[in-house]
Amino acid sequence: MKLVELRELALNSEIAELALISLEGGTYVLEAKVGGRQRPVKDEQGRVLHLRSVEHARDLLKEVPPVPFYLVHAEVHDQMCGMPPAASEPLRVAISLNSAW
């Protein structure tokens, strides 16, 4: 979904939550939970939107009505050490859509 669709779904209370997912290399992707499914947010060309920071995400989402917003980090031990997948969940931290600055 593109940002315009995300805003419309949020205005209609159809977005259960937003997840800003931290990726290796210091970038983030944004996913919206709609109807029990995670959907990536895409740019105008239809490519998954890569963000530089939490503040970059907040800036893009300033026109979106308040919804639960989480910063999600995968377990680095699984990625870096080649350990088998564990039953643990990624770290999910609730954050505000509004900037602290």
Q: Which of 60, 66, 55 is nearest to 17 (CA)?
A: 66
Q: What's this model's pTM, rounded to 2 decimal places?
A: 0.82
**How many structural domains comprise the chain?**
1
Which pLDDT score is estimated for 94?
87
Residue 32 lies in a domain: yes
The CATH number for 56's domain is 3.30.720
Residue 101 lies in a domain: no
> What pLDDT digit, counting tens, does each position of 8-36 carry?
999 999 999 999 999 988 899 999 999 99
Residue 64 lies in a domain: yes
**42-57: buried (b, 16+ CB within 10 Å) or exposed (e) per residue?**
beeeeeebebeebebb
> What pLDDT digit, counting tens, does each position of 47-100 carry?
999 999 999 999 999 999 999 999 998 765 555 555 555 556 778 888 888 876
Residue 100 lies in a domain: no
Domain that holds residue 53: 3-95
Residue 66 lies in a domain: yes
Which pLDDT score is estimated for 96?
87
Backbone angles phi, psi at 79, to 5 degrees: -75, -45
